[in-house]
Structure 1
Amino acid sequence: MTITLISGANKGLGLEAARRLVLLGHTVYLGARDREAGEHAAADVGGTFVPFDITDDESVAGAVEFIGAREGVLDVLVNNAGISGGRIPALETTADDVARVFATNVLGIVRVTHAFVPLLDRSDAPVVVNVGSGMGSLTVTTDSSRFESTLTGLAYPASKAAVSMITSQYAKALPRFRVNVVDPGYTATDLNGHRGTQTVEEGATAIVAMASIGPDGPTGTFVDRNGTVPW
């Protein structure tokens, strides 16, 4: 049985990924800050809720203890939780605005990954999936044929570019692990006010695919549901 933890799994992409991974036979732990929403989501998909605030050391340590006591191992970590930071024009964005987004989107991933590496290291085939974005790609956001090139912002794109870099570095530092970053695409979720052009089913495809790879799977890659995403 594959033991999987997904952060931010009470709705949107995280919930859909949890649903599909349960169907694939994973034992899925759904992490969320909101207990009521998290428990409802877990019951809905057949998973287990774990209280989980990725910006809080004590909360993350509690999640490690909870899963460690129940399973003794973690096979797959999906770092899905993230925030947009709001639609603040670039020239009106302050350092505090950027810091708030980085605290969740970047430092949250580092905090969670660092805390769960010991449990992941007990797995025969440890996998880490970081949910990034095409908005974090310099190539994509400067390609006039791509929708992402029409959007301007500081905090969110910068945070997702950082996610790509920390993924690449973790992949090198953890050679036995499979560590990849995925771009779900412009998906209709609360993050963008449901303006996205993809369904959550489409958006979760790359997450589920990379959460399902084996020890011979890729590592240090950036992909979406159609293939490789340029850095």
Structure 2
Amino acid sequence: MDTHISPTQRLALVTGANKGIGFAVAEGLLGMGMTVYLGARDTYRGTSAVSALVARGYDARFVQLDVTDQASVDAAAETVAREAGGLDILVNNAGVLATPIHKPSRTSVDEVRATYEINVFGVVAVTNAMLPLLRRSSAARVVNITSNLGSVSLAASNRAFPQLLAYNSSKAALNALTVTYANELRSERILVNAVSPGSVATDQNGHAGALTAAEGALLPIRMATLPPGGPTGTAVTADEDLSHHPLPW
């Protein structure tokens, strides 16, 4: 079977895309006529997600991608390069919220390290591997899925703020990564932004969020398809009424 993609086709890669917000983002981009690679660590879950989308007529493709495994990341980049030759959109969605949740003083270093491996170091690994492909695009966009819990300003102003040491600090670090990459790539017109989808019902929060995954995908999709001259180095968050506003650092 010919797996090559037309050079005129817009192409996206979404990590952690076999379920939840990642799957919804992939589905939304496919609905806009794009070819989308669904990156997933688990091959069975990833191929099952892709099969469901292909059955609806979408050009969805699976790529095995464990963001904590450099060999897996490199192999994914090689697959995209071989089949597509470039990349227009990267959505760094893969993330973890460790459970059970402990107080900061009772959170182990191993728990923090494991969280950072996915939420921070994984983003660096994937972004760096995909940048050569993004640089071939005339309108490359990078979206990092963050959280309101990564806002240091909100945490400092609210004593009732959830005290999730590993998760909160990893998302704050992700916000810093977003700005750093945006500043480097600004001259190349590659737009890099952080997006908090809002209170979305996912496996991470026991499906307690106010928004569906499809609703939570709307803002990431918007930022992934910004027009030329759009913002870069920003963080935005969605409200329950689907409006959006800047997320304080």
Q: TM-score, normalised by structure 2?
A: 0.88
How far residue 120 of structure 1 moved from its aligned partner, in angstroms, is 0.5
Match for residue 162 of structure 1 among 167, 170, 173: 173
Question: What's the CA shift string for 1:69-124, capped at 9, x where partnerless?
Answer: 00000010000000001212222101111111001000000000011110110111
Output the amino acid matched with 2:76.
Answer: A
Contact 1:134/1:229 (8 A) holds in 2: yes
Query: Equivalent residues in 2 for 1:54-203 (5 A)?
Result: 54-86=67-99, 87-144=101-158, 149-175=160-186, 176=188, 177-203=190-216
2:102 and 2:20 mapped to 1: Cα distance? 23
Q: 1:149 to 1:118 in 2, by over 3 A?
A: farther
Q: Which structure's CA Rg is the greater one? A: 2
2:88 and 2:213 mapped to 1: Cα distance? 24
Query: What number of residue pairs does the alignment pair up?
Result: 228
Q: Secondary structure at the match of 2:24?
A: helix
- Structure 1 stretches lacking a partner, 5+ long: none
Give the % identical residues.
43
Tell me whether 90-99 or 156-165 shows the greater mean CA deviation.
90-99
- RMSD (Å) for aligned C-alpha atoms: 1.3
Query: Equivalent residues in 2 for 1:13-92 (5 A)?
Result: 13-45=21-53, 46=58, 47-86=60-99, 87-92=101-106
Q: Secondary structure at the match of 1:224?
A: strand
2:161 and 2:185 mapped to 1: Cα distance? 36
Which residue in 2 is equivalent to 1:211?
224
How far residue 48 of structure 1 moved from its aligned partner, in angstroms, is 0.6
Tell me whether 162-171 or 194-203 shows the greater mean CA deviation.
194-203
